[in-house]
Amino acid sequence: MSREIYEPVIGLEVHIQLLTNSKAFSADPAEFGAMPNTNISVISLGHPGTLPFFNKRVADFALRLGLACKSSITHENIFARKNYFYADLPKGYQITQDKTPICTGGSIRIKTADQTTRDIAITRIHMEEDAGKSMHDQDPYDSLIDLNRAGVPLLEMVSEPEIRNSEEAYAYLTEVRKLVRYLDICDGNMEEGSMRCDANISVRKKGETRFGTKVEVKNMNSIRNVQRAIEFEIDRQIALLESGGTISQETRSFDASQGNTFSLRSKETANDYRYFPEPDLCPLFIKAEDIERVKAAMPPLPEELYQNFVSTFGLSDYDATNLTDSKPVALYFNQLCSLTKNYKAAANWVMGPIKSYLNERALEMEAFPLAPEKIVELIQMIDQGQLNFSVASQKIFPILTENPASSALNIAGEQNLIQNSNSELINEWVQQALLKYPEKVLEYRSGKTGLLGLFMGEVMKLSQGKADPKLANTLVKAALDAR
Amino acid sequence: MTVDEHLIGQLANLAKLEFEAEAKTEIIKDLNRILSFVEKLNEIDTDGIEPLIYLVDDSPSGRDDIAHLQISQDEGLQNAPKHDSDYFRVPKVIS
């Protein structure tokens, strides 16, 4: 197909459900997963005579995200009503921000396929409340409404339409999810809907400066599905244009089982939301001291940790990227590095035995049983020649994770695993090994140096695996080379 | 702004209301009267004047993020025209 002559233009709107205790404008709990219609109040039910009361933490969380994206912060924030009728919106309007989003500008840095970085500009981040949840498939005649989510605080983050393909969209969302998790403002769970994404997609011929007609795609419950929906939509739009058709401005839904999108509603009958300033709430003023307070309490950001891992700890780009993917992993590694100077060993322990342990058990880092001190003890024992890495990781580490209160030294002692770095003793084993295979010694000396492994194996066997392999290797080689 | 049948149709749609043809004629007349009344405001010169939305300059707005429940599920559901033990029930929105 003539995909090469077209250029997709993609903008993403991400809804970020905030991890506050209470709702945005009322004190009922904001937690996910409660029994239906138990986290409610007269305010979130929209009863007459009730007034919204703003949760200050919502603004703090918005500031965290805005500061992390280097956005400009709006001083005077006016809430607005967005009016529409739907059964899961009891008041008949959503409290949101229209003309004065709390953050404007800023960007999200993504890594593209060729490993270069690109900054995707952010148009705005604004605060709003979520609607309730409707279930249409539980009953033949009724839709069921659960208002636990009604009033839960959201940030809506809108990107500029400068994402050029589905891989960039994937990278952008991965970065946003990582960021909100690092900031402790959202759990970033797209499957449960605590992070949601709508994609605005259009295509135009390369060189064209005007945008094509855009289509909004909704209902993608994973980052991968956003990528799939964009791929499908680009193909659909190009095929339509190539066959002489025109794109109609509409909202489409993604069907994950079919991998396609279908029309939900056309924009000709578009809702006119009739925004106007919310008369029930005073304007919210963000002062310099609010910004300073939020800045002072900012959690570490992935970008900062990455830079630190590379420049202070001397890690490679690959290792530093790997270790900053998840905040708990990055913080654990950071703790290790505050206890040992052997940063490379710390990185290897986290990316090797610890990650395998977690993967095999499908656990998150938070569930890892060992305190950083225990890993540092293993690193030190290896550095001091008391253990080698394979004994430490394959014999001691599994026992230690079962008995987190124990210590590497205790286990090594009990299991008789302390490595022998006594060169006299090792030399005895070396002599025994050489005596055992006199003709192999001759072969080695006539040039078959590959036989070194045979002698090494014999020494390790004689030592029951406890000979320091580096030292043993040197001694075996020395004994063979000395005629 | 001209008030015509098309606009009444749009407004009715947004308000989820339906009107008979003769009611529509009446509404067009009423709305036009309201609009021409409000038009009077256009006679005032507002050049260079910031719109005044709120009368407060600053307000210690906001509460701390502390959750507490004040009504039960039963109390929440009791006023709904239709509900079961857990949910509000409404006529099916999507078939």
pLDDT in tens, A433-475: 888 998 988 899 888 888 888 999 998 888 888 788 888 888 8
- Report the pLDDT value the prediction gives residue A113, as an integer from 0 to 100: 79
ipTM, two decimals:
0.90
* Single residue among A237, A269, A290 that ends a domain in this structure: A290
Average confidence (pLDDT) over B45-55: 90
Strand partners, A12: A199
- CA–CA separation, A481 and A308 (whole Å): 46
Q: Are A137 and A286 in a shared domain?
A: yes
- Three-state secondary structure call for residue A449: helix
DSSP code of residue A352: I
Report phi then psi at A93, rounded to 5.
-150, 155
For residue A248, the enclosing domain spans 3-290
- Report the pLDDT value the prediction gives residue B3, as an integer from 0 to 100: 87
- CA–CA separation, A71 and A123 (whole Å): 9
Task: Express each pLDDT in A198-253 by its tens digit.
Answer: 999 999 999 899 999 999 999 899 999 999 999 999 999 999 999 999 999 899 99
- Report the pLDDT value the prediction gives residue A407, as an integer from 0 to 100: 87
Residue of chain B nearest A36, judged by CA positions: B86
The answer to whether residue A283 sits within a structural domain is yes
> Is A28–B67 a contact, with Cβ atoms under 8 angstroms apart?
yes
The answer to whether residue A61 sits within a structural domain is yes
- Three-state secondary structure call for residue A257: coil
**Spatial CA neighbour of A143 closest among A152, A153, A133:** A133
- Report the pLDDT value the prediction gives residue A386, as an integer from 0 to 100: 82
- Report the pLDDT value the prediction gives residue B16, as an integer from 0 to 100: 86
| Chain B partners within 8 Å of A282 (Cβ) | 54, 56, 59, 61
Degrees (nearest 5) of the Cα angle B67, B71, B76? Answer: 125
Helix or strand run (H / E) with residue A293: helix A288-296
| Six-digit token string for A476 | 């075996």
Average confidence (pLDDT) over B16-27: 90
Count the domains in chain A: 2
Q: Enumerate residues 6+ apart whose C-beta is below 8 A from A193.
A: A17, A221
* Single residue among A290, A317, A351 that ends a domain in this structure: A290
- CA–CA separation, A261 and A353 (whole Å): 43
Q: Please give the C-alpha separations between residue A37 and each of A21, A22, A31, A55, in angstroms, as whole numbers.
A: 17, 15, 12, 21
The answer to whether residue A97 sits within a structural domain is yes
- Report the pLDDT value the prediction gives residue A255, as an integer from 0 to 100: 92
Q: Are A55 and A203 in a shared domain?
A: yes
CB-closest option in A29, A144, A272 to B89:
A144
Q: Considering the entire predicted model, what is its pTM? A: 0.84
In chain B, beta strands by DSSP E: 88-91
Q: Answer yes or no: is pLDDT of B95 > 70.
A: no
**What are the b/e assignments for A403-412, b being 16+ CB within 10 Å?**
eeeebbbebb
Strand partners, A277: A80
- Three-state secondary structure call for residue B36: helix
Distance from CA of A279 to the nearest CA of B (A): 8
Q: Are A135 and A276 in a shared domain?
A: yes
Low-confidence ranges of chain A (pLDDT < 70): 1-2, 267-271, 420, 483
- Report the pLDDT value the prediction gives residue A345, as an integer from 0 to 100: 94
**Spatial CA neighbour of A62 closest among A197, A160, A155:** A155
The answer to whether residue A258 sits within a structural domain is yes
The answer to whether residue A40 sits within a structural domain is yes
- CATH number reported for the structural domain that contains residue A429 in this entry: 1.10.10.410
* Single residue among A261, A290, A319 that ends a domain in this structure: A290
- Report the pLDDT value the prediction gives residue A268, as an integer from 0 to 100: 57
Interface of B with A (CB under 8 A): 10, 13-16, 53-54, 56, 58-59, 61-73, 76-77, 79, 82, 84, 86-95
